[in-house]
Chains A and B, each alone.
Chain A
Amino acid sequence: MSEPLIEVKDLKVQFNVRDGIIHAVDGATFTINRGQTLGIIGESGCGKSVTAKAILRMVPRPGKVTGGEILYHRRIKSNGSEITDIVNITELDPDGEEIRKIRGGEIGMIFQEPMSSLTPVYTAGSHIGEAVGLHRLVPIRKVGAQMVETIQAHRRISKQEAREIAIDMLRRVGIPKPEQRVDAYPHQLSGGQRQRVMIAIALSCEPKMLIADEPTTALDVSIEAQILDIMRELQETVDMAIMFITHNLGVVAEMAEEICVMYMGKIVERASAVEIFYEPQHPYTRALLKSIPHVGKKSRERLASIKGMVPDPFNLPSGCVFHPRCPEYMPGKCDRIVPSWTQVGENHWARCLLYEGV
């Protein structure tokens, strides 16, 4: 069960811009096991999406993976028995054949903006087909095509087969009248439907892992709930790991088994979802949890917020990067010593000097 699928070790991503270097991801370490859901939460700009893109080697320029490794435990069938081959994704050519096989075929990704993630000139079906075709599975260019496209991209399959797969996938993600919708162009679909199509594309090649980068941020709550349900259902049927990126704590509580909290490119706390919510250890995590409004709890108190601003990425604070905003700031310590990754409980890690006994 707890067999690792992706191991990220000390991942560093830097953006070399004119004003200096931004450490978008600074030493992220985590593991995603097969079939497990890992939630990654944090404020905007803390490096969540960059981490996800680094796994697919899609960090936008001028970003660069400058250190660490991403180990992908790939299962290969050889002579009837399954062996696990470990691929270091950071060493692959970002435009090469190898990474393109992994993208979509073995690790799927869905994006925040369902409105613009489908190529406007293709139908849902052709998109799915393309993916399947690309990965020698099968093809889909309407929203069906967009889907056929993904399928085509990953298996060698006839147009007809691809279309059937596209229809089937659309049905699985709960799109009504999939036989007609497969020929719909993106502009003919609603936001929720488009995100379903995206999910269908991502799942059409039965990836081992799905990276969901704020998949429901652009949708309203009722659609959000449906999409989350669909993802969970499908996860159970195909035993797929999910890396769920969000800044919505409610959503992550519902989806994830394990949660990483990121702040300024660093993972500051990692624990099971239950522990994160009931026994948060890092002051940042606590502050985040406090800033959620509670329904039904009327009070004259203002909603708690984290004081201060996110620091300037070119001019990071010394010591612990969170110290200027930390309610438990220890003068003389927090601004001098960089905290290390400390175990604070069973399977519970945090990066805070409170637990280092200094």
Chain B
Amino acid sequence: MAEQKVPETNKKRQISQSYWSLVWWKFKKNKLAIVGGILIILFYSICGLFAEFFAPYTLDYQSDYLEARPQPVVFKDEEGNFSLRPAVYGLEEKIDQTLRKRFYEVNRTKIYPIYFFVKAEPYKLLGFIPTDIHLFGTDPADPEAHVFLFGTDRLGRDLFSRIIYGGRLSLLIGLLGQILTFTLGMVMGAISGYYGGVTDIIVQRLTEFVGAFPDIPLFMALAAAIPVTWSPILVYFMLTLILVFIRWGGLARQVRGLILSLREREYVLAARSFGASDARLMFRHLLPGTLSHCIVIATLMIPGMILSETALSWLGLGLRPPLTSWGVLLQEVSSVRSIRFAPWLLTTVPFVLLAVLSFNMLGDGLRDAMDPYGGR
């Protein structure tokens, strides 16, 4: 008979498992959610924090290659022999006589090796560390060399770099907007549910009123109200606020429902009997009870936020150049002509999809992990 021994570390853990450690324990077992979480962290660090480092070119760098196709990556050196260093073929300009249009063909005789941690355009990392090192790029000594992994747009700007920069605004609008929505929804929901009566009626009718508006026309009206003279950053924040204004209602109603059931619990009465004020009861005794539920909802709402921004920008109602977001990038491909002659500009789409999917996978994982009644 083999002796059964409980490892010492396990014994210690059994003494007390906090709620969050249980959540983490259950969350860990959901592989999809882990993948989603990792992807989100990658997205936010690559696009949000270190876009300048990961992008080989700056946002407004214009090359001479207009609407150039993506350059395939190969593992060959300049003599054509196999090499571990990745490289890209050069591009050669051609004219299509029938269409009378300029286009690029891959020139297999020219090979530009890709170097990592190259010195290129100077920038400020995180906004304050001056540096000029980029993750990858071509030999800085060779002015001919260029690397356009996803091709270039009509003005000759590197799409790969622009997708990374565009992700910054798109992802931040999701996060920032969701934080505001979360706060507003929680506070309004708590007030509505806690006080009940007239307050409740006013808040609930307000959410219904906002929710009953058709989104797009309301958006058009609000977006049109943003003065043209405002700086792009202000416009960006206004857009975020507009999104928040439209979307806080759903969360507020959910919080209200939860608060309604929680406020009848004995512990609210008990806390009141110790002299706790209304605000204290609402925000310290009631809201924490709704938190796990709300975090899940909020996570699942972020993709909606990102998609709204993308959709609105695509319609020309949201962000406008020179601001660059995924929506703005997609707007540039909104003509048949672009799709016919520069289909690589659609590379933005998989990134939007991936970001949205990641959030959904993470949210689903969180929901399963945080639900105390979910068996399985």
CB–CB A121/B273 < 8 A: no
Interface segment, B220-228, B275-283, B350-358?
Answer: B275-283
- B267 interface hit (Cβ, 8 Å): yes
C-alpha gap A118/B280 in the complex (Å) = 15
B-contacting residues, A198-252, CB 8 Å: 198, 201-202, 205
Known contacts A113-B266, A121-B288, A188-B16; A105 and B275 CB within 8 A of each other = yes
Q: Which residue of A lies closest to B15 (CB)?
A: A180
Known contacts A119-B285, A188-B16; A202 and B265 CB within 8 A of each other = no
Instruction: Tell me the smallest distance from the CB of A107 to a CB of chain B, in Å.
Output: 9
Instruction: Tell me the smallest distance from the CB of A209 to a CB of chain B, in Å.
Output: 12
Chain B 258-277 per-residue mask, 1 if CB under 8 angstroms from chain A, else 0: 00000001110111111111
A: interface residue count bin: 35 or more
- B232 interface hit (Cβ, 8 Å): no
C-alpha gap A101/B277 in the complex (Å) = 10
C-alpha gap A66/B288 in the complex (Å) = 36
C-alpha gap A105/B289 in the complex (Å) = 26
Which of B16, B19, B269, B288 is A58 in contact with, Cβ under 8 Å? B269
Q: Which residue of A lies closest to B291 (CB)?
A: A121
CB–CB A103/B278 < 8 A: no
Interface segment, A127-135, A293-301, A316-324?
Answer: A127-135
Q: Which residues of A contact B18 (CB under 8 A)?
A: 185
- A109 interface hit (Cβ, 8 Å): yes
Known contacts A95-B278, A116-B265; A108 and B273 CB within 8 A of each other = yes
CB–CB A108/B271 < 8 A: no
C-alpha gap A223/B297 in the complex (Å) = 43
Q: Which residues of A contact B276 (CB under 8 A)?
A: 100, 104, 130, 134, 149, 153
C-alpha gap A108/B273 in the complex (Å) = 7
Instruction: Tell me the smallest distance from the CB of B23 to a CB of chain A, in Å.
Output: 13
CB–CB A153/B275 < 8 A: yes
CB–CB A134/B275 < 8 A: yes
CB–CB A202/B267 < 8 A: no
Instruction: Tell me the smallest distance from the CB of A102 to a CB of chain B, in Å.
Output: 8
Q: Which residues of A contact B280 (CB under 8 A)?
A: 130, 134, 153
Of B265, B274, B289, most A-chain CB atoms within 10 Å: B274
- A89 interface hit (Cβ, 8 Å): no
C-alpha gap A198/B278 in the complex (Å) = 20
Instruction: Tell me the smallest distance from the CB of A99 to a CB of chain B, in Å.
Output: 8
C-alpha gap A105/B274 in the complex (Å) = 7
Which of A117, A120, A149 is B289 in contact with, Cβ under 8 Å? A120
- A111 interface hit (Cβ, 8 Å): yes
CB–CB B270/A134 < 8 A: no
CB–CB B274/A111 < 8 A: no
Instruction: Tell me the smallest distance from the CB of B280 to a CB of chain A, in Å.
Output: 8
Q: Which residues of A contact B270 (CB under 8 A)?
A: 109, 111, 117-118, 198, 201
Which of A103, A108, A113, A198 is B272 in contact with, Cβ under 8 Å? A103
Q: Which residues of B contact A131 (CB under 8 A)?
A: 274-275
CB–CB B266/A103 < 8 A: no
Q: Which residue of B lies closest to A100 (CB)?
A: B275
C-alpha gap A58/B18 in the complex (Å) = 34
C-alpha gap A201/B276 in the complex (Å) = 13
C-alpha gap A122/B271 in the complex (Å) = 12
CB–CB A104/B267 < 8 A: no
Q: Which residues of B contact A102 (CB under 8 A)?
A: 275
B: interface residue count bin: 20 to 34
Instruction: Tell me the smallest distance from the CB of B122 to a CB of chain A, in Å.
Output: 47
B-contacting residues, A75-126, CB 8 Å: 95, 100-105, 108-109, 111, 113, 116-122
Q: Which residue of A lies closest to B16 (CB)?
A: A188
Instruction: Tell me the smallest distance from the CB of B77 to a CB of chain A, in Å.
Output: 62
C-alpha gap A201/B272 in the complex (Å) = 12
C-alpha gap A225/B288 in the complex (Å) = 35
C-alpha gap A101/B269 in the complex (Å) = 16
Q: Which residues of A contact B285 (CB under 8 A)?
A: 119
Known contacts A121-B288, A121-B289, A188-B16; A116 and B274 CB within 8 A of each other = no
Q: Which residues of B contact A201 (CB under 8 A)?
A: 270, 274
C-alpha gap A130/B276 in the complex (Å) = 8
C-alpha gap A188/B15 in the complex (Å) = 11
C-alpha gap A166/B274 in the complex (Å) = 15
C-alpha gap A116/B270 in the complex (Å) = 9
C-alpha gap A113/B270 in the complex (Å) = 10
CB–CB A109/B273 < 8 A: yes
Known contacts A119-B285, A120-B289; A130 and B274 CB within 8 A of each other = yes
Instruction: Tell me the smallest distance from the CB of B285 to a CB of chain A, in Å.
Output: 5
- A196 interface hit (Cβ, 8 Å): no
- A154 interface hit (Cβ, 8 Å): yes
Q: Which residue of A lies closest to B288 (CB)?
A: A121
Known contacts A121-B288, A121-B289, A188-B16; A116 and B275 CB within 8 A of each other = no
- A40 interface hit (Cβ, 8 Å): no
- A150 interface hit (Cβ, 8 Å): yes
CB–CB A150/B266 < 8 A: no
Known contacts A111-B266, A113-B266, A119-B285; A135 and B275 CB within 8 A of each other = yes
- A56 interface hit (Cβ, 8 Å): yes
Q: Which residues of A contact B271 (CB under 8 A)?
A: 119, 130, 149
CB–CB A154/B275 < 8 A: yes
Q: Which residue of A lies closest to B287 (CB)?
A: A121
C-alpha gap A117/B265 in the complex (Å) = 8
B-contacting residues, A125-155, CB 8 Å: 130-131, 134-135, 149-150, 153-154
- 28 residue pairs of the A-B complex, CB under 8 angstroms, read A100-B277, A103-B272, A103-B273, A103-B275, A104-B275, A104-B276, A105-B275, A108-B273, A108-B274, A111-B266, A111-B273, A116-B267, A117-B267, A118-B267, A119-B285, A120-B289, A122-B288, A130-B274, A131-B275, A134-B274, A134-B276, A149-B271, A149-B274, A153-B275, A154-B274, A188-B16, A201-B270, A201-B274
Nearest 3 CB-CB pairings of A with B: A104-B274, A104-B275, A103-B275
